[in-house]
Amino acid sequence: MKEEIDYNTLLVRFFERTADEADIKHLSEWINSSEENKRIFNEYNESYQLADITANGWLYNTDNNWKKLKVRIQDEGMIPLVKMVTNRQMIWWRSVAVIAIIMTVAALGWMFKGNQQLSHYSGVVSVVAPLGQKSQVVLQDGSKVWLNSGSKLEYVYSAETNQRVATLEGEAFFDVAKDSNTPFIVETPDVVLKVYGTRFNVLAYAEEQIVETTLEEGSLGVQIKTTGEELLMKPGQQVIFNKQSKLMELSDVNLYKHVAWKNGKLHFDNDTFIEVVKKLERWYGVEIHLDESLHLSARYTMIISSESVSEVLDLMKITTPMRYEIRNGQIEIIADK
């Protein structure tokens, strides 16, 4: 005797991905038994997908995907830094960012000597993003790196260990070119990351208590250098390493919030006054002094893109009784009575 299987339950199991072999078989039978059922399935399918994009906030993030597409389209004009420098003829680019990097690299004293050509696979590439600026570079292997202000990156391909090694101090977003034969290692003072082809953000400022890694795409292993403990990450996850407790914590996060900086947006999400000030200092490359009379209990949620630092401070003034003065690149914030 056949049991009447409620097709509605089969559909739920199908879309929610809890269907087993038997369910699939019954669903197939039901669908194939009439054109009408095919149509019903399609209607359920389409409406499920529609509801899903609304219920599932992080699904199909337009901003992230748009940035990716833009990079891909612009890539056709983007040439790798090292390749260019190893050519005997200097080729001048329109991109200001690349020029800034060339100058910074030259300033660090890394130049090629006379007629000697640097080979692709030896030599260290050094990139610095000074305070108040961001930098962007394409490495020899095609990986792209965005550096946040006050950060430094060194990259080298090590032939003995067959590894691509990036040493980072500060914050960077990596889009690592896929090469499953050659692991890409990111070294920071406290943790090391091992990747094969993926997009992720690393926050490792020397003066911060924590090291924060956020994975956008692909897979990533985070290892504590002193203990050897390792965590494997999935997209949408974040690992926070506490330098004091030497513990790692894994959580799911809102990706956009943590990688917004690379798209030129500074993101505050219920941040305390102190956190806001610290981020502003780094973003704008200024020093901010806080008067002790300030009442610091307010929290701030906002997204900044092209505003000047005084525009941001004016925004804060709306909800916080404060005054500020800018003198010689230094800002002083005082309570407003």
Partner 1 sequence: MIDKNTIKRLKEGDDQAFELLYYKYFRRLCAFTNKYLNDYETTQEVVQEVFYSIWKNRTDLKVEKSFISYLFQLAKNKSLNIIKHSEVEDKYISVIKETYLQGDFIDSHDSLLAKEIEIKTQSIIESLPEQCRKIYLLSRQEGKKHREIAEELDISVKTVETQIGRALKVFRKELKEYLTSVLLTII
Residue 53 vs 106, nearer CB to partner 1: 53
Q: How far is the CB of 303 from partner 1 (least distance, A)?
A: 16
In the complex with partner 1, the residue whose CB is nearer, 57 or 114, is: 57
Kindly state the smallest distance separating residue 48's Cβ from partner 1, in Å: 6
* Nearest C-alpha neighbor of 198 from the set 214, 187, 212, 210: 214
Total H helices, total E strands in the chain: 9, 18
Residue 247 one-letter amino acid: L
> From the CB of 9, what's the least distance to partner 1, in Å?
5
Q: CB of 254: closest distance to partner 1 in angstroms? A: 12
3-state secondary structure of 249: strand
Using the minimum distance from each CB to partner 1, give the nearer residue, 41 or 256.
Answer: 41
User: Coil, strand, or helix at residue 223?
Assistant: strand
Between 264 and 329, CB nearer to partner 1: 264
Cβ closer to partner 1: 65 or 122? 65
**Strand pairing report for 144-147 and 163-175:** antiparallel
Nearer to partner 1, 36 or 292 (CB): 36
Tokens of 311: 């525009």
- By CB neighbour count within 10 A (0-12 exposed, 13-18 middle, 19+ buried), where does 8 fall? exposed
Separation between Cα atoms, residue 255 and residue 154, nearest integer Å? 26
Interaction site with partner 1 (CB under 8 A): 6, 8-9, 11-19, 21, 24, 27-28, 31-32, 35, 38-39, 41-57, 59-60, 62, 65-66, 68-69, 72-73
| Shortest CB 268 distance to partner 1, Å | 23
Q: Look at the alpha carbons of 244, 245, 247, 251 in this order and tell me if their dihedral is positive or negative.
A: negative
Smallest gap from Cβ 225 to partner 1, in A, equals 32
Beta strands 151-158 and 266-272 are unpaired
Least CB distance to partner 1 at residue 62 (A)? 5
Nearer to partner 1, 18 or 116 (CB): 18
φ/ψ of residue 286, rounded to 5? -125, 165
Distance CA 325, CA 161 (A): 53
Both tokens of 247, joined, read: 């513990």
